[in-house]
Each structure stands twice: as C-alpha cells, then as structure tokens.
Amino acid sequence: MLDLWFSESHADDAKFSIRVKEHLYSEKTPFQQIDFFKSETFGTFFTLDGYIMMTEKDEFIYHEMITHVPMAVNPEIKKVLIIGGGDGGTSREILRYKSIEKVDLVEIDERVVRLCQKYLTQTACKLDNDNRLTMHFEDGKEFVKRTKNGTYDLILVDSTDPIGPGEGLFTNEFYNDCQRILSDDGILINQHESPYYKDYCHEMKRAHSKIKDKFPISMVYQFHMPTYASGHWLFGFASKKYHPLNNLNADRWNSLGLKTKYYNTNLHKGAFALPNYVIEELEKTE
C-alpha cells in the first residue's frame, strides 16, 4: 500500500500529518497552490499553499460557528457579504435561514470554487442552486472599497491566514471599509486565528488591535477545530450595536428549529468565555 502522508507545520518543530489515500488534484493558480486529498478519517480535504482549509469531517464546526453566532444575535439579518469562503460551507449554513435575502460571496480565486464544486459538494452544494447568492471572483479588499455605505447587515470574513492572498483582509483599510459598508445593525465576523502557537497568536493580536478601534463592540469567541493548529481557533465578533451575549435571544433562535451538530445557544454563551492567557494576549494590543 502506498504510504503517503500530508503534513502541515504548526510551528517550526511541530506538525500534524494525515495519511492520504489519494492525491485527487493539484493546481497552481495565479494566487496559490491548491490541492485536494482523500483520507479515511477526515474524508476529502483541501489545502491552499499547504495549509488545511477544510476537511469533510470537521468543517461543520467552523461553518456553524461563523454563521449561527451572529444570526442568533440578530435574526433580522437580510444582506450578507462573505469574503473568501470559496468552499461554500459558510454560504450553505447562512442560506439555511429563509429570512436571508441576499448573499454576495467574494472569492479571489475562482478555481477554489470550481474545484470544490467538483470535489467537495458537501460544502459547495449551495453555490449554484440558490438564487439569493451571487458569486464575485475578485479581491475582497477591492470589492469592499467600492461598495456603498450601509449595504450589508453581516460580513463574514472566511479567509486564509494573513499570508499570501488573505493578507489584505487583515489590514486597517479593509476593516475600515467593512465598518463603513455595514448597516447600523451590522455585525462583522472574522477568522481570528489561534491563541496558542506564537506565530498564530501574533496574528490574532494584530487582527484584534485593528478591529477593536473601529467598532464599539469587539469580542472574540473560541471553538474546537481538530484539524487547525492546536485545535483552538477563534472568530472575532465586532458590531456597531449588538452585544453577542446581551443581545442573544436563545428562545428565538431555538424556535427556528435548525438542526446543528456543533452550535447551540448554550455553547454560544460559553464560547465567549476565554482562558486567562488568551484574554491577556488580546489585551496586550489595547
């Protein structure tokens, strides 16, 4: 049997490896290196520039946590902008809400979408069969720059790490535009890196220090993501008006009857209770 392993470095001297049953596809686009693999434990997974973006088996955690937290705080959200998210998982979750009227998905690399439509239909399933969704293949930074004030109720930054094509999505300019194009009810959720390993923690602090200056409410919440570095991952919740805990109406969200595998409204509250060392690192930027 072929003994083939994919490895991702979490630090210079720590790595996570998955045995590969089949290297399904590999392509170098103008933006990044894309690879799809098949594995037993994680199902199909894909990587960008060698970093795991998602696996079939644990993607539900990330996609539920980026979506249902803001929707449970403000169920009146109607217009959504997704930056990145080419695998379609975030779109799939947000489009479960009948109340959503419009989703713009801005993915810099069309090849990610097209390849996920071929190899990862579990997440890409809704990308071409829900007419509330429009795909835009361009740089998210440019898209938000030319978008009118107050256009969206929710922005979900479902980006790669701040190296390579995702870099512009971790800048002051980008966050300023997000703030500007959100309605007064607006909420921004961003991929907020991880507190544990040094390099990730550094990016976590950089992102937080920029966002907290631009929104009256800026908090961070955590979840368990087995295939990401250290398994400890974060999203940022920034808002002009809504507090993620004080404005959570659990009964209202539960009355929607959405079945979820990770998210629930108790966990919603628990996810904002961070460990001391994470709070301290986040405060260092303040």
Per the annotation, does 58 bind a ligand?
no
Active-site residue, selected from the candidate residues 153, 158, 199, 251: 158
Residue from the set 125, 135, 217, 274 that interacts with its own copies by CB under 8 A? 274
Q: Is 277 in the site for its own copies (CB under 8 A)?
A: yes
Per the annotation, does 231 bind a ligand?
no
Distance between CA atoms of residues 180 and 91, nearest Å: 22
Per the annotation, does 75 bind a ligand?
no
Q: Is 38 in the site for its own copies (CB under 8 A)?
A: no
Count of residues in the chain? 286
Using alpha carbons, select from 107, 105, 125 the residue that is nearest to residue 117: 125
Per the annotation, does 139 bind a ligand?
yes
Is 128:117 a contact under the CB 8 Å cutoff?
yes
Q: Which stretch binds its own copies (CB under 8 A): 109-117, 142-150, 152-160, 262-270?
A: 262-270
Q: Is 250 in the site for its own copies (CB under 8 A)?
A: no
CB crowding 44-83: b at 16 or more within 10 Å, else e: bbbbbbebbbbbbbbbbbbbbbbbbbbbbbbeebbbbbbb
158 is catalytic: yes
The neighbour count for residue 27, using CB atoms within 10 Å, is 13
Q: Is 251 in the site for its own copies (CB under 8 A)?
A: no
Is 111:133 a contact under the CB 8 Å cutoff?
no
Q: Is 136 in the site for its own copies (CB under 8 A)?
A: no
> How far apart are CB 199 and its own copies at their closest, in Å?
11
For residues 8 to 37, the per-residue mask of contacts with its own copies, x marking binding by CB under 8 A and - elsewhere, is ---xxxxxxxxx------------------
Per the annotation, does 159 bind a ligand?
yes
> How far apart are CB 22 and its own copies at their closest, in Å?
12
Strands 102-106 and 133-136: parallel
Helix (H) or strand (E) holding 70: helix 59-73
Query: Which residues does the annotation mark as catalytic?
Result: 158
Binding residues, by number, are 32, 63, 87, 107, 139-140, 158-161, 165
